[in-house]
A and B are shown apart, each in its own frame.
Chain A
Amino acid sequence: MAEVEINAVSKAFGKTQALSDLSLTVGDGEFVALLGPTGAGKTTALRLIAGLEQPDCGSIRIDGRSVTGDAPADRDVAFVFQQYSLYPHLTVFENMAFALRAPTRRVPEADIHAKVQEVARLLHIETKLDNKATQLSGGQMQRVAIGRALVRSPSIYLMDEPLSSLDAKLRGELRLELKRIQVDLGATILYVTHDQTEAMTMASRIGVIEGGRLMQIGTPREIYENPINAHVAARLGQPTINLLPAALFAGAPVGVETIGARTEHLTIARGGGDISATVKRVEHLGDQSHLHLDLAGRPVVTLADPEAGFGAGDVVSLRLNEPLFFDAKGWRVAA
Chain B
Amino acid sequence: MNELSASSRITYRAVMVRPGVARRIRGLSDRTLAWLFITPTIVLLLAINIFPLLWTIYLSFTNYRANRANVPTIWLGADWYQSILTDPDIWAAMQVTAHFVIWTVVIETVLGFGLAYLIDKKFRGHGMWTTIILLPMMLSPAVVGNFWTFLYQPQIGLFNYVVAFFTGRAASSFQMLGDVTLSPWAIVIVDTWMWTPYVMLICLAGLRSIPDYIYEAAEVDRASKWRQFWSITLPMALPFIMLAVLFRGIENFKMFDMVNLLTGGGPGSTTEVASITLKRAAFESWRTGYSSAFAIILFVTVFGLANIYVKALNKVKSR
Residue of B nearest to A82 (CB): B213
Q: 1/0 per residue A78-121: CB within 8 Å of B? A: 11010101111110000000110011110000000000000000
Inter-subunit contact A81/B221 (CB<8 Å): no
In the complex, whether A72 has a CB less than 8 A from a CB of chain B is yes
- Which residues of chain A come closer than 8 Å to B216, judged between CB atoms? 52, 72, 79, 81, 85
In the complex, whether B131 has a CB less than 8 A from a CB of chain A is no
Partner of B219, one of A72, A78, A83: A72
In the complex, whether B227 has a CB less than 8 A from a CB of chain A is yes
Alpha-carbon distance between A103 and B226 when the two chains are bound, in angstroms: 11
Query: Mostly helix, strand, loop or mixed at chain A's interface?
Result: loop
Q: 1/0 per residue A185-226: CB within 8 Å of B? A: 000000000000000000000000000000000000000000
| Given the contacts A87-B214, A89-B319, A102 and B220 also touching, CB distance less than 8 Å | no
- Which residues of chain B come closer than 8 Å to A136, judged between CB atoms? none
Tell me, rounded to whole Å, the shortest Cβ–Cβ distance linking A154 to chain B: 9
- Which residues of chain B come closer than 8 Å to A89, judged between CB atoms? 235-236, 319
Residue of A nearest to B239 (CB): A89
Pick the most buried of A85, A86, A132: most chain B CB atoms within 10 A of its CB: A85
Tell me, rounded to whole Å, the shortest Cβ–Cβ distance linking B5 to chain A: 52
Inter-subunit contact A99/B221 (CB<8 Å): yes
Inter-subunit contact A83/B213 (CB<8 Å): yes
In the complex, whether A40 has a CB less than 8 A from a CB of chain B is no
Pick the most buried of B217, B227, B232: most chain A CB atoms within 10 A of its CB: B217
Q: 1/0 per residue B84-98: CB within 8 Å of A? A: 000000000000000
- Which residues of chain A come closer than 8 Å to B31, judged between CB atoms? none
Alpha-carbon distance between A99 and B235 when the two chains are bound, in angstroms: 18
Partner of A73, one of B211, B222, B232, B236: B222
Tell me, rounded to whole Å, the shortest Cβ–Cβ distance linking B195 to chain A: 28
Residue of B nearest to A99 (CB): B221
- Which residues of chain B come closer than 8 Å to A99, judged between CB atoms? 220-222
Inter-subunit contact B220/A104 (CB<8 Å): no
Inter-subunit contact B221/A102 (CB<8 Å): yes
Alpha-carbon distance between A52 and B232 when the two chains are bound, in angstroms: 18
Alpha-carbon distance between A23 and B221 when the two chains are bound, in angstroms: 26
Inter-subunit contact B222/A81 (CB<8 Å): no
Pick the most buried of B213, B216, B222, B224: most chain A CB atoms within 10 A of its CB: B222
Inter-subunit contact A78/B236 (CB<8 Å): no
In the complex, whether B255 has a CB less than 8 A from a CB of chain A is no
- Which residues of chain A come closer than 8 Å to B227, judged between CB atoms? 102-103
Inter-subunit contact B220/A88 (CB<8 Å): no
Q: 1/0 per residue B205-216: CB within 8 Å of A? A: 000000101101
Alpha-carbon distance between A73 and B319 when the two chains are bound, in angstroms: 28
- Which residues of chain B come closer than 8 Å to A83, judged between CB atoms? 213
| Given the contacts A88-B236, A103-B224, A73 and B219 also touching, CB distance less than 8 Å | yes
Inter-subunit contact B223/A52 (CB<8 Å): no
- Which residues of chain A come closer than 8 Å to B319, judged between CB atoms? 89, 132
| Given the contacts A83-B213, A85-B213, A85-B214, A98 and B220 also touching, CB distance less than 8 Å | no
- Which residues of chain B come closer than 8 Å to A103, judged between CB atoms? 224, 227
In the complex, whether A77 has a CB less than 8 A from a CB of chain B is yes
Inter-subunit contact A52/B222 (CB<8 Å): no
Alpha-carbon distance between A72 and B232 when the two chains are bound, in angstroms: 17
Alpha-carbon distance between A102 and B225 when the two chains are bound, in angstroms: 12
Pick the most buried of B213, B214, B221: most chain A CB atoms within 10 A of its CB: B221
- Which residues of chain B come closer than 8 Å to A176, judged between CB atoms? none
Tell me, rounded to whole Å, the shortest Cβ–Cβ distance linking A254 to chain B: 53
Inter-subunit contact B220/A50 (CB<8 Å): yes
Inter-subunit contact A105/B222 (CB<8 Å): yes
Within 8 A of B (CB), among A124-169: 132, 148
Alpha-carbon distance between A86 and B221 when the two chains are bound, in angstroms: 12
Q: 1/0 per residue B294-319: CB within 8 Å of A? A: 00000000000000000000000001
Within 8 A of A (CB), among B212-258: 213-214, 216-224, 227, 231-232, 235-236
Alpha-carbon distance between A52 and B223 when the two chains are bound, in angstroms: 14
Inter-subunit contact A104/B217 (CB<8 Å): no
In the complex, whether A296 has a CB less than 8 A from a CB of chain B is no
Alpha-carbon distance between A215 and B51 when the two chains are bound, in angstroms: 78
- Which residues of chain A come closer than 8 Å to B231, judged between CB atoms? 87, 90, 98
Partner of A72, one of B211, B214, B220, B235: B220
Inter-subunit contact B236/A71 (CB<8 Å): no
- Which residues of chain B come closer than 8 Å to A104, judged between CB atoms? 222
Alpha-carbon distance between A85 and B223 when the two chains are bound, in angstroms: 14
- Which residues of chain A come closer than 8 Å to B220, judged between CB atoms? 50, 52, 72-73, 77-79, 99
Alpha-carbon distance between A291 and B54 when the two chains are bound, in angstroms: 79
Alpha-carbon distance between A81 and B217 when the two chains are bound, in angstroms: 8
- Which residues of chain A come closer than 8 Å to B214, judged between CB atoms? 85, 87-88
- Which residues of chain A come closer than 8 Å to B223, judged between CB atoms? 73, 98, 102
Within 8 A of A (CB), among B55-92: none
Alpha-carbon distance between A78 and B235 when the two chains are bound, in angstroms: 24
Q: 1/0 per residue B261-295: CB within 8 Å of A? A: 00000000000000000000000000000000000
Alpha-carbon distance between A102 and B235 when the two chains are bound, in angstroms: 18
Alpha-carbon distance between A129 and B223 when the two chains are bound, in angstroms: 21
Alpha-carbon distance between A85 and B214 when the two chains are bound, in angstroms: 5
Tell me, rounded to whole Å, the shortest Cβ–Cβ distance linking B303 to chain A: 29
Residue of B nearest to A104 (CB): B222
Residue of B nearest to A102 (CB): B222
Residue of A nearest to B317 (CB): A89
Offer 10 A-B interface pairs, CB within 8 angstroms, sorted by A: A50-B220, A73-B220, A73-B222, A78-B220, A85-B214, A86-B217, A87-B214, A98-B223, A102-B222, A102-B224
Sorted nearest first, the 3 A-B pairs with minimum C-beta distance are A99-B221, A102-B222, A85-B217
- Beyond the given pairs A72-B219, A85-B216, 10 more chain A to chain B contacts, judged by CB atoms under 8 angstroms and listed by A's residue number, are A52-B220, A78-B220, A79-B216, A88-B236, A89-B235, A98-B218, A98-B231, A102-B227, A104-B222, A132-B319
